[in-house]
Amino acid sequence: MSSLNRVLLIDDDPVFLNNLEFSLSRYFDILKTDNLDDAKKFTESTHIDAILLDYQIGSQTGHEFMDYLGVVALAIPVVVLSGCINLEMTVGFLKRRPYGFLEKPATFLEIKNTLEAAILSKAGQKPLDSLGFEIDYKTRKVSVDDKEIILTKTEFELLCLFIKNRKKQLSRMHISKHLWGNHTVSKNTLDTHLLNLKKKIPPFSNRIVSVYGNGYLFDA
């Protein structure tokens, strides 16, 4: 069973959909569809952490799908990704309040970061400020006692990985693959980044549990 968060991609362009799946599958457990009927079936049959939604899907629109989510009371964060920008679409989405909006052609990094932020901020998660630090996923800023903490890109990615997997044991192999993919790095590389992160954010350090021989757990 995958430990990655599950993202549903909805777009009626099969080439674009396949490219998205290829790019994002390293970071998320991907489901994809080019129509809203199958999208509804996915939401009914499996847990989904976030949705990336196009506006025009065949003869239907993203407005209709977000209305469906409201009717069935599914609190799944939605990120809209569309190349069709007009007043009707914009006003319609503002009324339905998706988590975020991206205009095609958005960069891979913009899509990935916005999806991660949507997952991390979804309803029902314990507020991070109760843990002694705050994080703004859109600006990628972290603060402790209202003081901004400067993190490297890798340190921020590492922090987000632990937050996204609270109470879950993460192996060193899983962490390394998330951060560096198939690139080979020394064992000390992960240790160094984690040590720096713990030094910079003491409240985080207090909740990281080392599981001997297996990895780490963020006990929050």
Query: Does residue 164 share a domain with residue 79?
Result: no
**Residue 205 structural domain:** 128-218
Contact status, residue 142 vs residue 201, Cβ threshold 8 Å? yes
Confidence of residue 39 (pLDDT cuts 50, 70, 90): very high
Buried b (16+ CB within 10 A) or exposed e, 73-104: eeebbbbbbbeeeeeebeebbeebebbbbbee
- pLDDT computed for residue 72 by the predictor: 67
Q: Token digits for 85?
A: 């920008």
Q: Does 1 reside within a domain?
A: no
Using the 8-state DSSP alphabet, how is residue 105 labeled? Answer: S
Query: Does residue 178 share a domain with residue 90?
Result: no
Query: Does residue 168 share a domain with residue 106?
Result: no
pLDDT at 204 over 50: yes
Q: Rounded to whole angstroms, what are the CA distances from 153 to 83, 144, 160, 218? A: 29, 18, 11, 19
- pLDDT computed for residue 185 by the predictor: 81
Average pLDDT over residues 83-96: 78
Count how many domains the chain has: 2
Confidence of residue 187 (pLDDT cuts 50, 70, 90): confident
Ordered DSSP codes for 167-202: T-EEEHHHHHHHHHTT----HHHHHHHHHHHHHH-H
User: Who contacts 149 (Cβ-Cβ below 8 Å, separation ≥6)?
Assistant: 133, 142, 143, 200, 201
Q: Token digits for 168?
A: 């879950």
Last residue of a domain, one of 103, 120, 137: 120
pLDDT at 126 over 70: no
Last residue of a domain, one of 64, 98, 120: 120
Confidence of residue 123 (pLDDT cuts 50, 70, 90): very low
Average pLDDT over residues 100-118: 86
Last residue of a domain, one of 73, 97, 120: 120
pTM over 0.85: no
Query: Does residue 99 share a domain with residue 11?
Result: yes
Query: Does residue 69 share a domain with residue 145?
Result: no
Query: Does residue 174 share a domain with residue 109?
Result: no
Q: Cα–Cα distance between 75 and 131 in angstroms, integer?
A: 24
What pLDDT, in 10s, does the model give residues 134-184? 887 767 888 888 899 999 999 998 998 888 787 788 888 888 888 888 888
Query: Does residue 111 share a domain with residue 172?
Result: no
